[in-house]
Chains A and B, each alone.
Chain A
Amino acid sequence: QKEVEQNSGPLSVPEGAIASLNCTYSDRVSQSFFWYRQYSGKSPELIMSIYSNGDKEDGRFTAQLNKASQYVSLLIRDSQPSDSATYLCAVEIPGNTGKLIFGQGTTLQVKP
């Protein structure tokens, strides 16, 4: 059974801190990984995609991938109250299927 696991939270961090969001996946041959942000009442929007082991940085966001450990994470530096949302980890079913399996999401609360 293909699965993507996230801690549902809520994860609470003070403004300006680093928020660390974690995700594990079960299918060892997965190649494509995505982080989406979803504000309450809105649809998910892409923050980052990552395909290779290591870190990928985009502004205040860093995605980290470790395929050997089947682990992908998202770091948010200098967290802002506007970052308060649910963060969804998604993994593409291998074989260039285009189908993504989503974790249940981690709710992040950034307190001023």
Chain B
Amino acid sequence: DVKVTQSSRYLVKRTGEKVFLECVQDMDHENMFWYRQDPGLGLRLIYFSYDVKMKEKGDIPEGYSVSREKKERFSLILESASTNQTSMYLCASSKGGSGANVLTFGAGSRLTVL
């Protein structure tokens, strides 16, 4: 089974702190994604990556950056955390290619910014 591991399940940070959310997948998937999930707003795509060192903005990239230095690892960075970034963050990966875009999600990281 594909496994997507997010390093932290729960984080509490202060406004202005730099926050790193780490995600690792173990099935050699090409594609990796960061979503955030908020009540009433559903899942929204922040950033995604099709390959190492490659990244593309999703629907809500403001206030976030990402890093993919290795194929299996995709990090989400909040340069200066703000209270409106309190949310559930979900990492996902997919094999990529036609008909191979089923997403597998990690367990999620619930971030609270005070």
Chain A residues close to B by CB (< 8 Å): 32, 34, 36, 42-46, 49, 51, 88, 90, 92, 96-105
- If A88-B43, A105-B42 touch, whether A100 touches B101 (CB-CB below 8 Å) is yes
Give which listed residue, B90, B96, B102, contacts A49 with CB less than 8 A. B102
Q: Does B12 make an interface contact (CB < 8 A)?
A: no
User: Is B105 within 8 A of A32, CB to CB?
Assistant: no
Q: Does B50 make an interface contact (CB < 8 A)?
A: yes
Give Cα A92–Cα B31 distance, bound, in whole angstroms.
Answer: 13
Cβ < 8 Å to A, chain B residues 92-114: 94, 96-99, 101-108
Give which listed residue, A43, A49, A51, A97, contacts B106 with CB less than 8 A. A43
Give Cα A75–Cα B99 distance, bound, in whole angstroms.
Answer: 23
Kindly provide the distance from the CB of A43 to the nearest chain B CB, expressed in whole angstroms: 4
Give Cα A42–Cα B96 distance, bound, in whole angstroms.
Answer: 24
Q: Does B45 make an interface contact (CB < 8 A)?
A: yes
Known: A43-B106, A43-B108. 18 other contacts (CB 8 A): A32-B99, A42-B107, A44-B90, A46-B102, A46-B104, A51-B99, A92-B101, A96-B97, A97-B101, A98-B48, A98-B96, A99-B45, A99-B48, A99-B58, A100-B45, A100-B101, A102-B35, A103-B42
Once A and B bind, how many residue pairs between them come within 8 Å at the CB atom?
Answer: 52
**Chain B interface residue count, Cβ-Cβ cutoff 8 angstroms:** 25
User: 12 A–B contact pairs at CB < 8 A?
Assistant: A42-B107, A42-B108, A43-B105, A46-B103, A46-B104, A49-B102, A88-B43, A96-B97, A96-B98, A99-B45, A100-B101, A102-B42
Chain B residues close to A by CB (< 8 Å): 31, 33, 35, 40-43, 45, 48, 50, 58, 90, 94, 96-99, 101-108
User: Is A98 within 8 A of B31, CB to CB?
Assistant: yes
- If A43-B108, A99-B48, A99-B58 touch, whether A34 touches B43 (CB-CB below 8 Å) is no
User: Is B43 within 8 A of A102, CB to CB?
Assistant: yes
Kindly provide the distance from the CB of B47 to the nearest chain A CB, expressed in whole angstroms: 11
Residues of B within 8 A of A98 (CB): 31, 48, 50, 94, 96, 101
